[in-house]
Amino acid sequence: MKFLNRKTLVLMLVAMMLVLGACSSNTPNSGSTNATNNPSNTTEPPNDASDDPVTLTMLVSGAKAAEGEDFELETLPRLVKEKFPNVTLEVQKLPDEQYYTTVKTKLGAGEGPDIFLVFPKLANMGAIEVAKAGYAADLSDLSFWDRVSPAAKNDMSYDGKPYAVAKGMDILGTFYNKDLFEQAGISELPKDWNSFLEAAEKLKAAGVTPIVMGDKDPWVIQFGMYQLAANSVYPTDPEFDTKLQTGETELTDEKWIKTINQYKELYDKGYVVKSSLGMASAQAVQQFVDGKAAMIFTGTWDLPGVTASGAAEFERGFFSLPGNDANQPIYASASTAAGFALNAKSANLDVAKQVFEYLYDAESPLFEAWVASNPSISVFNGVELQNDIFKDSLSEIQSTGNAFYFSNQMWPAGVSDVMQAKFAEIIGGQKTTAEDVAKAMQDKYKELYKE
């Protein structure tokens, strides 16, 4: 199959930024006028569920909310029951790596949940993968698509049909402890790679762990890597990923070598906590909220965790990791977020679609609860920015368009796994080089990519 070229995808991201610009103001978003005319937009919603008892199952990834009511585990089942008294929603939430294995096994055996979590485009458990496998139901007939950013809809589509509803847009970034920055004499946020290294050195000299990462969960290696790639790979070659598909470029390119070496430098210089390979991501977040480290690389989705109460009280901030050279602009790593899909083989597909109509109708108590609990930046028209900590980063993206999506969304599932495994060898002190990591990534890409 052919995929959108890089130029088209960048234009789509900019279009999403324009929609979000309206969403974050007090003016209702008018971006829906740009949506492609689709017969699904005029389809009447399904009738209310019948009175027959129905049990829907739902499987998602992540950890239970650190504080307050968990939306998927508690709020969603309760509000679904209030609207549809005959419907019982049973939700299971698994750690990320366990989720991938479990949901694929269940879906492959025809025993999958009625509702499950998928990711954009080509990512592991991505919309394209689950659509091609016949796991996810075509959602074209649902009535709310004219209220969703066209870019977010497209990222969850295959052959022009949507198969999942994105939670919003996510930004990878650096959450930081403003108090520790001030104590170390860091008066302004770093504007390029060298000034970021200088800031990390100041923190280290002040006896503060600059960065904490839970590399025992290997997927967190992506969180710093993609921020750096947004600055070192794509600005000079926005079509890089499309050229990978044709063989015009390779992941062994000097730009990816530079990216990997930049991330390696943080470990080589002792700026990342030494015990990272023995620390799970939840432990790393706890270290951050307890005031034991100044920074952590993660995304907007992790806001509840990194702002939870800990052993220390301090003000948090958020910025894009500046992997850029001096006097060059900073590019953010921003992308459509994960979202919910429906099982194409569900015996209760019609009822599940009714739940989706209610969840995403823009005015129901369930929609309001979803927006209030969702740390991702909404891609639904008229929804204002909920979390001010992301205001500066979002404004910068909106005003400049300087952003590229997460690299793995244009790679076959498995390439990022190799990247993580080989980079973990570097963290562990083996003699693995950036060139070794890049070669392993390229070899896996050639093995898996099918046009």
pLDDT tens readout for residues 166-185: 999 999 999 999 999 999 99
Instruction: Identify the pLDDT of residue 419.
Output: 98
Instruction: Identify the pLDDT of residue 32.
Output: 27
How much is the pTM?
0.86
Judged on CB neighbours under 10 Å (0-12, 13-18, 19+), 44 is exposed
Please provide the distance, in angstroms rounded to a whole number, between the alpha carbons at the two ends of the chain. Answer: 5
Q: Sort strands 316-319 and 169-177 into parallel, antiparallel or unpaired.
A: antiparallel
Residues 297-309: what's their mean pLDDT? 95
Residues 279-306: what's their mean pLDDT? 96
User: Is the pLDDT at 34 greater than 90, yes or no?
Assistant: no
Backbone angles phi, psi at 117, to 5 degrees: -95, 135
DSSP letter, residue 5: -
Instruction: Identify the pLDDT of residue 96.
Output: 82
Q: How confident is the model at residue 48 (pLDDT cuts 50, 70, 90)?
A: low
* Distances 232 to 263, 320, 332, 410 between C-alpha atoms, Å: 11, 13, 11, 17
Instruction: Identify the pLDDT of residue 25.
Output: 31
Instruction: Identify the pLDDT of residue 18.
Output: 41
Instruction: Identify the pLDDT of residue 438.
Output: 98
Residues 34-57: what's their mean pLDDT? 55
Rounded distance between C-alpha atoms, residue 295 and residue 313, angstroms: 15
* Distances 325 to 231, 270, 329 between C-alpha atoms, Å: 8, 21, 8
Q: How confident is the model at residue 232 (pLDDT cuts 50, 70, 90)?
A: very high
Mean pLDDT rounded to a whole number for the chain:
90
Q: Let me know: does 404 contact 441? Beta carbons within 8 Å.
A: no
Where would I find the beta strands (DSSP E) of 140-190? Answer: 157-158, 161-162, 165-166, 169-177
Where is pLDDT greater, at 399 or 46? Answer: 399
Rounded distance between C-alpha atoms, residue 231 and residue 331, angstroms: 5
Task: For residue 159, give both structure tokens.
Answer: 């052959």
Residues 287-312: what's their mean pLDDT? 96
Q: What is the pLDDT of residues 356-387, one digit of tens each?
A: 999 999 999 999 999 999 999 999 999 999 99
User: Is the pLDDT at 1 greater than 70, yes or no?
Assistant: no
Instruction: Identify the pLDDT of residue 51.
Output: 78
Of 20-29, 148-157, 294-303, where does mean pLDDT reach its minimum?
20-29
User: Is the pLDDT at 147 greater than 80, yes or no?
Assistant: yes
Amino acid of residue 433:
T
Percent of residues, the chain, with pLDDT higher than 70: 89
Residues 285-305: what's their mean pLDDT? 97
User: Is the pLDDT at 9 greater than 90, yes or no?
Assistant: no
Judged on CB neighbours under 10 Å (0-12, 13-18, 19+), 245 is middle
Residues 430-437: what's their mean pLDDT? 98
